Amino acid sequence: MQQQKRVLFTVLDWGLGHATRSIPVIEAMLQRGYNVHLAGEGNSLLLLKNYFPDLKAHDLFGIQVRFTDSSFGIVWMIPSLLKSIKQEHQQFLVLCDEIKPDLIISDNRYGAWHLTRPSIFIGHQLYLQAPNRFAKWIEPILFHFHSKFLKRFLKIWIPDASGENNLSGILANHPSIAQSLNCEFIGPLSRFNSSDNIPTENNYEVVVLISGPEPQRSIFQEACLQEAMRINKKTLILLGQPNKNEQITKGSITLVSHLGNNQLAPIIKSAQYIVCRSGYSTLMDLAKLNKTALCIPTPGQTEQLYLAKHLSNQHKIVFQEQHQMNWEKGFQDLSDVRQLSFSSDKLLLEAIDKLSF
């Protein structure tokens, strides 16, 4: 009997999005007979361990980041990020010596590569955006340096579809990307199954999805709580904390630390209004369920700001900045937008079936 190929799968721990979108990839690898090992830290690894309790998991120390509300916040973090990536890479060398994987798959962990073992990077944010419109000239320079990190990987899997019907816009579809990197589109990824098979539960008018790194996660939570109290609609606020098991009700507002996919999908599907960050994984989940939302980008995350503006210009979401959040106006504007949509699931399985190592 042929021995199972061993895959080391690791995700970044900046919010839960990298973990949730990795669920369908891991499921597809298991379906194709691979022996998958998980690696990571924090809530992201905890979520995957809860979802795949039979898989062996390895704890790592990852990149720590705290986003401020400065548009140049990520720029000031570059030296510490580079240092963290180097430390991360040393950890993976040790881990690879221990478990000897045949393949490494990394969702946005730049240090998860190996010279003698094929490594795949999953990411949509390839053409980095400048902190503001007056610094657009720096984007080709950013891509030049970014591509040096990406070229350490055998291939880049882009969780999107090519062509006009895409979610990521210029982030994954800029001409420089195809010219410089070995990329393959694997289709949008969502933890949810087909929207057609999800029952509806009309329990809440408003569903709020809290996500992202601190301190902005808590700032967003408090701002949403204040808005929910002001408009007085039946509201569910999901805190994105799988390490807790809490539920608090305050009048018309219910706060829940975390819900599993089977519980969450019907609630989102039936919600009249959704409020969330414009993180890419959240947008893919909304597209899978054919929903739209009032999206509030995380301050300091240029990718989320770009996605919010890009999809708002296409009339697929409503975009507001955090310091100007107004649910009443946002909900009124949602009546004029169309739902996000999801393309074929087949691209992922095709990409896995083409693997040769």
What fold does the segment set 6-187+343-353 form as a domain? Rossmann fold (3.40.50)
Q: For residue 228, give both structure tokens.
A: 């929910």
Rounded alpha-carbon distances, angstroms, from residue 116 to 104, 119, 152, 354: 11, 9, 11, 19
Extents of the domains making up the chain? 6-187+343-353, 195-334
All residues at 6 or more sequence positions from 197 whose CB lies less than 8 Å from its CB, including other chains? none
Pairing of β 253-256 and β 273-276:
unpaired
Phi first, then psi, for residue 330 (nearest 5°) are -60, -45
Digit-by-digit pLDDT tens for the chain (357 residues) are: 457 899 999 999 887 889 999 999 999 999 999 999 999 999 899 999 999 999 999 998 766 555 444 444 555 567 777 888 888 899 999 999 999 999 999 999 999 999 999 999 999 999 998 877 667 888 999 999 999 999 999 999 999 988 888 999 999 999 999 999 999 999 999 998 766 566 666 789 999 999 888 889 999 999 999 999 999 999 999 998 888 889 999 899 999 999 888 889 999 999 999 999 999 999 999 999 999 999 999 998 899 999 999 999 999 999 999 999 999 999 999 999 999 987 767 899 999 999 987
Cα gap 329→346, rounded to integer Å = 38
Q: For residue 218, give both structure tokens.
A: 């808590």
Per-residue pLDDT, 71 = 45
163, 344 contact by CB (below 8 A): no
DSSP characters for 73-114? HHHHTHHHHHHHHHHHHHHHHHHHHHH--SEEEEES-TT---
Exposure of 18 by Cβ count < 10 A (0-12 exposed, 13-18 middle, 19+ buried)?
Answer: buried
All residues at 6 or more sequence positions from 104 whose CB lies less than 8 Å from its CB, including other chains? 7, 8, 10, 92, 96, 112, 113, 114, 117, 118, 119, 120
Q: For residue 299, give both structure tokens.
A: 């301050």
Phi first, then psi, for residue 135 (nearest 5°) are -115, 25
The reply to whether 195-334 shares the fold of 6-187+343-353 is yes
* pTM for the model: 0.91
What fold does the segment set 195-334 form as a domain? Rossmann fold (3.40.50)
Q: For residue 75, give both structure tokens.
A: 């720029």
